[in-house]
Amino acid sequence: MSKIKLAATLLFYTAVFCGTTQAQRKVLAVAEVKIADSIKSSAQKDNTLLSLQRVTDAIDGQLIDAMNGTRKFELTARSDLDALLEDAALTGDTIQATKADYLIVPSVDDFQDFLETMTFSGIGKTVSKRKIRLGMVARIYEVKTGKLIESANFQLDNKQMEDLLSSSKNGSFSDELLRKIAQQMSLQVANRVVDVIYPAKILSITGKQAMINRGDGTGITAGQVWEVFAIGEEMIDPDTGESLGGSEIKVGELKITRVNPKFSIGVLTEDFGVVKGSVVRQTIQ
């Protein structure tokens, strides 16, 4: 998305935002998934542009479903955002749409689809194996201020792709494989958006058992270990005066034992002052 178009998008949402009643849930707008020009040119040279477009179209739809599955936002689908903005610019009309608090701008910045050939000279055989690599960037903007609050990179690693390819008949680029790739990537993006806007928190504590506000469909599974943090005083950048958020001090660890549709339950394996409202983050292995 160009800087001019992005600025117009943010201005549009700011205008709609003003004067509206604050909803209980934040309203999230999702722009159409774009492909970086360099990636599109490379795919065209490699004759993989069709595969790239198919997987991008699949993600465009799956991302809306993944965000809706988090149960954290009111969703405004923006796949037709560019067309609406262009029409408004030509006619001078005001675009009528639901207000948004946040705008997600996703783009594909890495894609490869090729056959890896291995020759086993000892037995005189050559084996070809399909390889697919996919990477994305998602930028999260606060509409009211136009501020970029997060720019996150996402990659489906080799192990994830190999598992998806092995589950597909002959590793072909079938509709089922497309759906699985799109689901995996969309889930990563959706979970990151939720973690940025709504960090997971402790809902209640009973003895050593604690409940957090993450449920089925958010990537949480039984057996995961989550770190628990107390939020300290606000940190201010001395150069810009910008708020960097509150300092975080680790006060415990939580092992997930059960995942429900809207929340999960775990056991506190460490507790140095865990209280209701403490922030929890999944431990990075």
Residues 94 and 143 in one domain: yes
**Same-domain status, 223 and 263:** yes
Domain final position from 166, 197, 228: 197
DSSP state of 283: P
Instruction: Choose the final residue of a domain: 160, 179, 197.
Output: 197
In 98-224, alpha helices (H) = 158-166, 175-197
Q: Write out the residue range of the structural domain in which residue 95 sits.
A: 3-110+136-197
Q: Which residue has the higher pLDDT, 114 or 40?
A: 40
Which tens digit of pLDDT belongs to each residue from 136-150?
999 999 888 888 889
C-alpha 78, offset from chain centre: 16
| Nearest residue to 115 (alpha-carbon basis) of 165, 75, 151, 64 | 165
The enclosing domain of 257 has a CATH number of 2.40.10.410
Say how far apart CA 21 and CA 256 lie, in whole Å: 37
Given a cut of 50, whether residue 22 has pLDDT beyond it is no
Strands 243-259 and 225-236: antiparallel
- Say whether both 38 and 163 belong to one domain: yes
pTM of full prediction above 0.85 = no
Taking 70 as the threshold, does the pLDDT of residue 215 lie above it? Answer: yes
> What mean pLDDT comes out for the span 50-64?
90
Q: Domain ends where: 156, 175, 197? A: 197
> Is residue 123 assigned to a domain?
no
Q: Does 163 share its domain with 225?
A: no
Q: Are residues 231 and 262 in the same domain?
A: yes
Q: Tell whether 192 is covered by a domain.
A: yes
pLDDT of residue 126: 77
Angle at alpha carbon of residue 76, lines to 38 and 15, rounded to 5°: 90
- The single residue listed with the structure tokens 């973690």 is 195
Asked if the structure places residue 125 within a domain, the reply is: no
The answer to whether residue 77 scores a pLDDT higher than 80 is no
Q: Is 189 exposed, middle or buried (0-12, 13-18, 19+ CB in 10 A)?
A: buried
* 95 plus 236 within the same structural domain: no
User: Are 140 and 230 found together in one domain?
Assistant: no
Q: Is the dihedral of CA 18, 19, 20, 24 positive or negative?
A: positive
Give pLDDT, residue 12: 53
24 within a domain of the structure (yes/no): yes
Do 215 and 276 lie in one domain? The reply is yes
Q: Tens digits of per-residue pLDDT, 102-127?
A: 989 999 999 988 777 777 777 777 77
98 falls in which pLDDT band (50, 70, 90)?
very low
Provide the pLDDT for residue 122. 73
Do 72 and 96 lie in a common domain? yes
Q: What is the pLDDT of residue 208?
A: 95
Co-location of 92 and 224 in the same domain: no
> Is 116 domain-assigned?
no
Q: Which two tokens stand for residue 214?
A: 């993450």
Residue 225 lies in a domain: yes
Alpha helices in 112-262 (DSSP H): 158-166, 175-197
pLDDT exceeds cutoff 50 at 19: no
Q: Are residues 101 and 193 in the same domain?
A: yes
pLDDT reading at 253 higher than 90: yes
What is the 8-class DSSP label of residue 153? E
What is the structure's pLDDT at 231?
A: 83
141 and 264 together in one domain? no
Provide the domain count of the chain: 2
